[in-house]
Structure 1
C-alpha cells in the first residue's frame, strides 16, 4: 500500500516514520523543498515533493496541515488522485472539516490522533508518538465502511487506541480536555503577567517551578493552533469556558466565605475524579 502525507510537520513526519518502519511506501508533500529534503534524509518518507502530483499513486492520503488548510488542500488534490483514493486528516476539530471535505470528496474519513509535543516541524518528528494514544475516527452515514476499516487498520498498526464517534461528539469532548485547557493555561499566564507590582511579578518568575510549568505548558504553545481551535470549535469551546467560569466562581465563593470544609470536600472529589481522565 502506498500512503501519502501532505504536511510534513510533527504529526505528518511522525506518521511517516512509523508507517515506513512497517513496510508501507510513504510519499510526502510539503510546501518547502528544504522540508522535503529533510524528510528524505531522516527516513520519514520514501519520496518527497512540493508537487501534489506525487499523490497520484497513493491509496490513502493523510492531510496533516493546519485546520484552515485542510479543505483547500483537498480541493487542490482532487485533480491528482483516483476516485478510489481514501482521504483522511489529523485535525483537532472534526464537524466543520467533515462537513466541508465530504462535499468535495465523499471518500473521506475524519480522523484525529490525540498525540503531540510542545515542538513542531519535521525536526520534531519522532517514532512511536502514537503508541497507546487515542486515535479518533469520525465517520458519518455516507462514509464508505471499507474506507473506515482501512484507516482504522492503519491507526491500529501505530498501536493507537481507536475510538469511533460522531464529529459533533468529538468536538464537544475535545473542547473539555484539549481546547479548554489551552485557554485556561493561557489565561493563567496572562493573569500572572498582569500583576501590577513589577517586583512581585519578577519574584514569581524566579520562583515558578513544576506546578506552574505543568499548568502553563499548553498555554505557552503554538498561538496559531490555539486560535484555530477557537475559530473552528467556537460553540463547544464557549460552552466549556462558561461552565469553567461558573466552577471557578464556586471556588472563589468558598474561599471568600472561608468555607474550608466544603473546599476540602470539593478538592477530595476532584482528586478522585482526575484518574478517570488521566489513567
Structure 2
C-alpha cells in the first residue's frame, strides 16, 4: 500500500514515521521545502515534494490530508486531477460534519478520520512514531462511503497501532465537543480569569506558586490559538451546547458555596470523583469497534 501524506506537521509527520517504520512506501507533501528536508532527514518519507502534481508519479493508493481543517476541502479539490480512480482519501480533522459529506461528493472513496492523539508541541520536529499507540482513531463513514475505502482505512489504523472506532460525523462532533473542544475553551477561560487579578503582587505570587494542578487544567488553553479557533468555528453548535451545560454546572457549584451547603457540595465532588474514574485517559486501552454507526 503506497501512502501519500499531505501536510507534515505533528500528525502528518507522526503518521509518516510510523507507516515508514512498518515498511510502507510513504510520499510526503508540504508547502515548504524546509519541512520536506526535515521529513527526509528524519526518515519519515522516502520522497517529498511541494507540488500536488508530483503525486501522480508516486500513484498513491491512500492519501491522508493532514492540513488545517479550513484547508481540507480545497486541498482535496486540488488533489482530484492527480488521483487514480482507486485511490482512497482521508483527513485527520477534529470536526467531521462540515467535511465528510462534501468531501465524499468530491471524491467517492473518501473516509473521514480523526486520530485522538496529540502533543503541546507542533511541527515535523515534534512528530513521533508512537504517537497513536493504543489511542482511538475515529473513522466516520456515511451511507455513501465505499466499503473498500473503509477497509483500507481500518488497515492503516491498525498499522499505526491505533484502535479504529467507527461512528457517524454528528455523534463524533458532539463527543469531541465534550472531551476536546470544551476543555480548550474552559482552560482558556481559566487562564484569562487568573490573568485579570488586579493586584500585580498577587498575580506574580499565583504564577510562582502554580504547580501540577494549574498546569493540568490550563495546558490545552495555552496551546495553538488557530486550533482552538477552528474547533469553535467548525463545531460551533455542539460546542455551544457543552458550554451551556458547563456554565450550569459551575452555577450550581457557586450557589452551593455561596449558601454554605457543604454536605451538598461534598455529594457533588463525590459524584464527580466516581464519574472521573469512567475516563481511563492515562491508560492504553482497547475501545469498542462501533459506537452507534449504522454504516460502519
Identify the TM-score tier after normalising by the shorter chain: over 0.9
Which secondary structure state, in structure 2, belongs to the residue aligned with residue 132 of structure 1? coil
Q: Does 1:131 align with 2:133?
A: yes
- Residues 38-66 of structure 1 deviation map (CA, whole Å, 9 limit, x = unaligned): 10010110000001123221000000000
- Residues 177-236 of structure 1 deviation map (CA, whole Å, 9 limit, x = unaligned): 000000000000000001111111111011111100010000000000000000000000
8 Å Cα contact 1:36-1:49 kept in structure 2: yes
Which secondary structure state, in structure 2, belongs to the residue aligned with residue 27 of structure 1? strand
Q: CA deviation at 1:105?
A: 1.1
Q: Which residue of 1 aligns with 2:293?
A: none
* Separation of aligned partners in 2, 1:195 and 1:103: 51
The structure 1 segments of at least 4 consecutive aligned residues displaced by more than 3 Å after TM superposition are none
8 Å Cα contact 1:113-1:134 kept in structure 2: yes
Equivalence map 1:199-278=2 (5 Å): 199-278=201-280
The unaligned stretches of length 5 or more in structure 2 are 282-296
For normalisation by structure 1, the TM-score amounts to 0.99
* Separation of aligned partners in 2, 1:227 and 1:83: 35
Q: CA deviation at 1:99?
A: 2.2
Equivalence map 1:114-129=2 (5 Å): 114-129=116-131
Q: Which residue of 2 aligns with 1:73?
A: 75
Aligned residue pairs, count: 279
* Separation of aligned partners in 2, 1:153 and 1:251: 46
* Separation of aligned partners in 2, 1:102 and 1:242: 32
* Separation of aligned partners in 2, 1:55 and 1:111: 21
* Separation of aligned partners in 2, 1:54 and 1:98: 25
Equivalence map 1:1-279=2 (5 Å): 1-56=1-56, 57-279=59-281
Q: CA deviation at 1:174?
A: 0.2
The unaligned stretches of length 5 or more in structure 1 are none
Q: CA deviation at 1:101?
A: 1.1
Which secondary structure state, in structure 2, belongs to the residue aligned with residue 87 of structure 1? strand
8 Å Cα contact 1:3-1:26 kept in structure 2: yes
